[in-house]
């Protein structure tokens, strides 16, 4: 690929790296800088790949204002048998970005024009500054200043990073005047943010059967709890035929993880509206506040062009390896689901993931109890309803209801009247989610 408005090649780490990064930060779509690649796109490699990677991170952290932490990635890639560095730069929301050394002047501000970083005219600098986002959660003062961060410290320590006394400043948890900001509030051990995972019996919101609360703690902990809950709900879908049993998860686990993290990282918390997670019998819906980032259209969004709404949160999630690379989330989701799973409104974005096997009326989901009953019958087709009730410690009438459900799904039938036996069907009427197994034997009377 030749150099373009979004691609810059450099043979080695040079003194003007920050200039190129500033130009991409000020550019609507961001871009990519490759170190160890010549102007023709040939991969030459770098002599000290690890040292250069550390130098790049340190220079971008200390030499650019406003802070661009959370807006760039520095990753090692192997091309043509050699190691190169790929610097991923997102378009920032606090334009204009500038070189700290020269300030907000034509000598310090640059923008990508074609395949070059050009000085930004003073008029453009002033226009961008006047439009700079001022309701960023990094600038909003927390209503509590007595916050603790033990959970956050534990998560960092699990990655081999010890937070020192200056962690609040280093992680941008402070406002310009030194007060804890709203990012700090979200990352603290206790806050007022309520994050729920609701589960409904059908395809609408009429019959709520579970309402799990995972809020009031560090946003990192809440994210992990939501991921754990959805992993538990993401049971195996089994389609049983006369020849084989085909299995898959209800939802693609990689896509769901990316969707949950995206919702947590990119939610507009300035209105104190948390992301929402809802499980229906035929789908999973994830909704968060804030639609498309300013200046980005739908196609650019689907291509993975990243304009992080909350760069401070993005930086922390990247530190904790909960985000792989900037702009990788949406393309990963699209590997498993079509673009129409995303719905944009003026103030919200909703992602809808249908269960394996189709929409309403297509797939039935077995409860754990129903799976156990089916398994016990598969092991012993002589078993009676009374014996099932004793083994499961439930009323016989409840056993009968579960059996009737399994019959309606086409997974179970009764052969014979007085000396009959159970048959676990190998040809159910529909796809069924659960852990059931097929099989059949002959047997004895079903005593009521």
Give me the DSSP letters along 164-184: -TTHHHHTT-B-TTS-BBHHH
Q: What is the DSSP letter of 18?
A: H
Residue in 189, 180, 172 with CA at minimum distance from that of residue 316: 172
Pick the CATH number of 366-440 from 3.30.70.260, 3.40.640.10, 1.10.10.10, 3.30.930.10: 1.10.10.10
Structure tokens at 233: 């709900």
What order of strands is seen across the sheet that includes strand 245-249?
245-249, 236-240, 431-433, 363-365
Q: Which residues contact 180 (CB under 8 A, 6 or more apart)?
A: 141, 142, 144, 145, 147, 168, 173, 174
pLDDT on residue 253: 93
What order of strands is seen across the sheet that includes strand 208-213?
208-213, 196-200, 276-279, 283-289, 348-354, 342-344
Maximum Cα–Cα distance across the chain: 94
pLDDT on residue 243: 46
Four-CA torsion 193, 179, 103, 295, nearest 10 degrees: 10
Distances (CA, A) of 355 to 248, 309, 341: 10, 30, 12
- Distance CA(161)–CA(349), nearest Å, equals 34
Which regions in the chain score pLDDT beneath 70? 133-135, 237-247, 357-367, 426-448
**What is the Cβ-side half-sphere exposure of residue 256, based on CA atoms within 13 angstroms?**
24
pLDDT on residue 364: 56
How many CB atoms within 10 Å of residue 237?
22
CATH number of the 134-361 domain: 3.30.565.60
Residue in 122, 55, 60, 134 with CA at minimum distance from that of residue 93: 134
pLDDT on residue 84: 96
CATH number of the 7-131 domain: 3.30.950.30
How many CB atoms within 10 Å of residue 99?
20
- Domains of the chain by residue range: 7-131, 134-361, 366-440
Helices 385-392/396-408 angle, 10° precision: 110
pLDDT on residue 397: 86
Residue in 40, 43, 39, 19 with CA at minimum distance from that of residue 31: 19
pLDDT on residue 134: 64
Q: Which residue has the tokens 């399994």?
A: 406
Distances (CA, A) of 374 to 151, 233, 279, 292: 42, 19, 24, 47
> pTM here?
0.71
How many CB atoms within 10 Å of residue 33?
22
Exposure string of 380-404, with b = 16+ CB inside 10 Å and e = fewer, is: ebebbbeebbeeeeeeeeebeebbe
Structure tokens at 386: 């009374």
Structure tokens at 185: 């509030």
Q: Got the DSSP string for 280-333?
A: -SSEEEEEEE--SPTT--HHHHHTT----S-HHHHHHHHHTTSS-STT-HHHHH
Residue in 91, 124, 121 with CA at minimum distance from that of residue 22: 91
């Amino acid at each position: 690929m030749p150099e373009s408005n979004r691609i810059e090649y450099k043979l080695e780490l040079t003194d003007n790296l920050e200039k190129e990064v500033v130009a991409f930060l000020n550019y609507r779509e961001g871009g990519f800088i490759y170190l160890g690649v010549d102007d023709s796109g040939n991969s030459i490699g770098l002599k000290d790949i690890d040292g250069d990677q550390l130098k790049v991170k340190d220079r971008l952290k200390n030499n650019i204002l406003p802070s661009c932490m959370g807006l760039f990635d520095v990753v090692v890639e192997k091309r043509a048998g050699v190691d190169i560095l790929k610097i991923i730069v997102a378009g920032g929301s606090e334009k204009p970005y500038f070189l700290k050394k020269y300030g907000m002047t034509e000598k310090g501000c640059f923008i990508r024009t074609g395949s070059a970083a050009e000085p930004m005219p003073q008029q453009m600098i002033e226009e961008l500054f006047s439009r700079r986002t001022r309701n960023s959660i990094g600038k909003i003062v927390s209503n509590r200043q007595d916050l603790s961060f033990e959970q956050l410290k534990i998560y960092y320590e699990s990655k081999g990073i010890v937070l020192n006394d200056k962690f609040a400043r280093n992680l941008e948890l402070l406002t310009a005047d030194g007060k804890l900001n709203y990012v700090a509030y979200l990352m603290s051990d206790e806050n007022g943010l309520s994050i729920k995972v609701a589960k409904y019996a059908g395809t609408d919101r009429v019959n709520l059967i579970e309402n799990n609360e995972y809020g009031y703690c560090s946003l990192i902990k809440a994210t992990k709890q939501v991921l754990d809950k959805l992993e538990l709900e993401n049971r195996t879908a089994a389609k049983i035929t006369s020849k084989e049993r085909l299995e898959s998860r209800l939802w693609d686990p990689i896509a769901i993880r990316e969707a949950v993290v995206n919702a947590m990282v990119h939610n507009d918390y300035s209105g104190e509206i948390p992301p929402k997670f809802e499980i229906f019998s035929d789908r999973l819906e994830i909704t968060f506040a804030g639609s498309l980032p300013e200046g980005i259209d739908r196609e650019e969004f689907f291509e993975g062009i990243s304009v992080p709404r909350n760069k401070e949160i993005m930086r922390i999630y990247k530190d904790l390896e909960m985000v792989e690379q900037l702009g990788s989330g949406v393309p990963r989701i699209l590997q498993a689901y079509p673009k129409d799973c995303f719905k944009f409104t003026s103030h919200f974005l909703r992602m809808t993931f249908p269960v394996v096997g189709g929409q309403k009326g297509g797939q039935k989901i077995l409860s754990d109890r129903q799976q156990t009953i089916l398994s016990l019958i598969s092991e012993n087709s002589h078993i009676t309803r009374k014996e099932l009730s004793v083994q499961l410690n439930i009323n016989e009438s409840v056993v009968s209801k579960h059996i009737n459900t399994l019959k309606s799904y086409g997974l179970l039938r009764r052969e014979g009247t007085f000396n009959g036996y159970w048959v676990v069907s190998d040809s159910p009427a529909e796809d069924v989610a659960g852990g059931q197994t097929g099989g059949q034997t002959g047997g004895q009377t079903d005593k009521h």
